[in-house]
């Protein structure tokens, strides 16, 4: 998976004047090998979280501009590819909301392929994302 992303990013870098930053991490989460790749584009943050070595379900997480209360922003999720299940939306919002907020409310494109989506696993994965911060 990383080789594909590296090839893709290399191609994009050659076509663009801006530098695209990317970081990755691998850790055991509840005994399961887990990989995170975070990539910053000018208009999106792309985060891949996998315990299968695949991109998995692709979800767009965007700040809702219609929210009147700025102290508690709301986010919309849309499954672009893969399983469209309620738990997918819950995990996506939980994992991507802080990324969007810390990156100036940019939308997040999230690839999610998890064997373990327990609360404990999500907390550990969130820490992995923070360690790969590129925004």
Q: What is the pLDDT of residues 83-128, one digit of tens each?
A: 999 999 999 999 999 899 889 899 999 999 999 999 999 999 999 9
Closest CA to 59 of 43, 51, 50, 47: 47
- The secondary structure of residue 114, as a DSSP letter, is -
> Which stretch of 22-26, 47-51, 65-69, 93-97 has the lowest confidence by average pLDDT?
65-69
Question: Of the candidates 127, 112, 117, which has an alpha carbon nearest to the alpha carbon of residue 50?
Answer: 112
**Domain range list for the chain:** 29-66+73-117
Task: Tell whether domain 29-66+73-117 is in CATH 3.30.230.90.
Answer: yes
pTM given for the model: 0.82
Q: How far apart are CA 34 and CA 61, in angstroms?
A: 21
């Amino acid at each position: 998976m990383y080789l594909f992303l590296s090839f893709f990013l290399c191609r994009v870098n050659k076509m663009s004047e801006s530098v695209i930053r990317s970081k990755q991490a691998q850790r055991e989460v509840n005994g399961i090998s887990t990989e995170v790749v975070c990539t910053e584009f000018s208009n999106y943050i792309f985060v891949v979280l996998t315990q299968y070595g695949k991109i998995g379900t692709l979800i767009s997480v965007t700040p809702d501009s219609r929210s009147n209360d700025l102290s508690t922003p709301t986010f919309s999720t849309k499954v672009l590819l893969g399983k469209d299940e309620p738990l997918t939306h819950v995990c996506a919002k939980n994992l991507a909301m802080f990324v969007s907020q810390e990156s100036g409310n940019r939308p997040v494109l999230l690839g999610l392929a998890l064997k373990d989506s327990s609360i404990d696993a999500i907390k550990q994965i969130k820490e992995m994302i923070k360690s790969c911060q590129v925004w």
